[in-house]
Amino acid sequence: MNTNTFLNTVQNHKVVPVFFHKDPAVVLQVIEASYNGGVRIFEFVNRGNNGLDTFEHIVKELHRFPELTLGIGTIYDAKTAKEFLDAGAQFVVSPCFVEEVALLCNDHDTIYLPGIATIKEAFTASQYGCKVIKIFPASVIGSAFAKALKSVLPALEMMPTGGIEPTKEGMEEWIQAGVCCIGMGSQLFDKSKISSGAYQELSADIATSIKNMQELTNQ
């Protein structure tokens, strides 16, 4: 997926779930709950020893979610990025800027979202063709940084991730700061509901979060 396609997608779907579990069956159930709740962009996090195997299992079931865009997160090198791209990843995310990953994604016309925490890092990423960056960890850096970054690099889009609550109050400051979408992990997924298999309740929670976002962006 190239940058323009990604940005066109996030115009309507601004909540990007970020999730990992070692059990592919659990991941698929969480994806299904997210999809039923209105999610159309999902970032699977590459952790543990079986991240690629889990991702490949997920991709085989994507026909169940025809409108879903699936990306891979926590990528630190080009070799791993290439493995996930070959497996079907539609976008690539890192906790920090990795030059070789940026170059690989450029070669594959695939959007790369590197994590940044300073203006210098954001500028460097932009010099390597990155059009969207991930502000990480968002709860530490703060929305004021996003607003400042937008003022000096206005063409650069932002996806803050980490510690943002899926409430109107939690998301509003970031939307007002000019971000294009928000990545959400543990704040979006109630672990107790996942462990107990209460996926319909989880889906309802996610739908509420998306409704909150829609009300903010349609004001």
User: What average pLDDT does the chain have?
Assistant: 97
Q: Where are the domains of the chain?
A: 3-217
Has residue 66 got a pLDDT over 90? yes
Per-residue pLDDT tens for 136-174?
Answer: 999 999 999 999 999 999 999 999 999 999 999 999 999
Average pLDDT over residues 82-104: 98
Give, for 194, the enclosing helix (H) or strand (E).
helix 191-196
Sheet containing strand 41-45, edge to edge, reads 157-160, 132-135, 112-116, 92-94, 69-73, 41-45, 15-19, 182-184
Please tell me the predicted confidence (pLDDT) of residue 64: 97
Confidence of residue 219 (pLDDT cuts 50, 70, 90): low
Pick the CATH number of 3-217 from 3.20.20.70, 3.40.1260.10, 3.30.1390.10, 3.60.15.10: 3.20.20.70
Encoded tokens for 34:
């997210």
- The phi, psi pair for 114, rounded to 5°, reads -85, 145
Strand partners, 41: 69
Average pLDDT over residues 98-108: 98
d(CA 88, CA 122) in angstroms, rounded, equals 27
Please tell me the predicted confidence (pLDDT) of residue 171: 98
Please tell me the predicted confidence (pLDDT) of residue 218: 86
Average pLDDT over residues 129-136: 98
Average pLDDT over residues 84-105: 98
